[in-house]
Amino acid sequence: MSDNASQLKLTAKVLDRQWQQVIAIDEVLTCSYYSPESITWKCTTAAAPWQGGFFEQLLGLVKRALRKSIGRKLLDWDELANLLAEIKAIINTRPLTYVFEDFEYGFPLTTAHFLSHHAYLGVTGPTIKDMNDEEYQPNSNTSYALERKWRQDQKRLDTFWDQWHKEYSLSLRETLPLRHKGVKSAIDSVPQEGQVVVIKEQDTPRGTWIMGRIEETIVGEDRW
């Protein structure tokens, strides 16, 4: 499910046309995956943003955290580009699921794993190609000014992480699947032994998601 932007619709058509050519080959009929799993690409209806509520909610969380991290500060283009690149890395390294046999080594699957073979948090420095660019002009301020600017950038990222980590963790709890019983609804999510969960802790380092496995469930007397 994706937005109904024109470039996404075009991409869906191109992929579908290529896929139809692939499945026509006899050798790949036996290893077809998308068809048995009924995987299709659907776009939301125009002017109906509620149909993409699950990713629209994520956009809202990012915007609120970004607004709080910047405040009333007016960033120049380079500052904004660097901040957004770091924020993209933070968002794309959130855990989606995990590889069962590798969980003991702390290996959750993230969005970044599907974008790159190495899920790296943060951005690298300028490359040789950048430095050979005529428009590349590194900042030549004093060491004090550079250190002050770096600390400001780190403070913005820490503020974004604190807000994002808190709201995103709460959103996971609030969007649990519902089981309808007549006119009432109840959360159908009972923790089970062996399940892998995300542990919410205060003051975790930026980009750190603590995961654990439930070893034992203890039912309290006040359980509803």
Query: Are 21 and 132 within one domain?
Result: no
Query: Are 145 and 36 within one domain?
Result: no
Q: Which residues pair with 110 in a beta bridge?
A: 95
Confidence class of residue 127 from pLDDT cuts 50, 70 and 90? very low
Query: Are 156 and 121 within one domain?
Result: yes
Domain that holds residue 85: 48-176
In a domain, 196, yes or no: no
Average pLDDT over residues 39-49: 83
Query: Are 54 and 21 within one domain?
Result: no
Please tell me the total count of domains within the chain. 2
Query: Are 83 and 150 within one domain?
Result: yes
pTM: 0.63
Q: How far apart are the C-alpha atoms of 97 and 100, rounded to whole Å? A: 9
87 or 30, greater pLDDT: 87
The predicted pLDDT at position 103 comes to 61
The predicted pLDDT at position 149 comes to 81
What are the structure tokens assigned to 173, written together?
């709890």
Q: Which of 88, 108, 110 is nearest to 99 (CA)?
A: 108
H or E, element range at 184: strand 184-187
Query: Which amino acid type is present at position 47?
Result: A
Residue 156 CB coordination number (10 Å): 22
The predicted pLDDT at position 193 comes to 86
Per mean pLDDT, which range of 20-24, 134-138, 202-206 is the poorest? 134-138
- Torsion angle of alpha carbons 180, 184, 188, 189, nearest 10°? 150
Query: Are 4 and 87 within one domain?
Result: no
Average pLDDT over residues 117-130: 51
Biggest distance spanned by C-alpha atoms of the chain:
70
Query: Are 29 and 73 within one domain?
Result: no
Query: Are 52 and 39 within one domain?
Result: no
* % helix, strand, coil for the chain, step of 5: 50, 10, 40
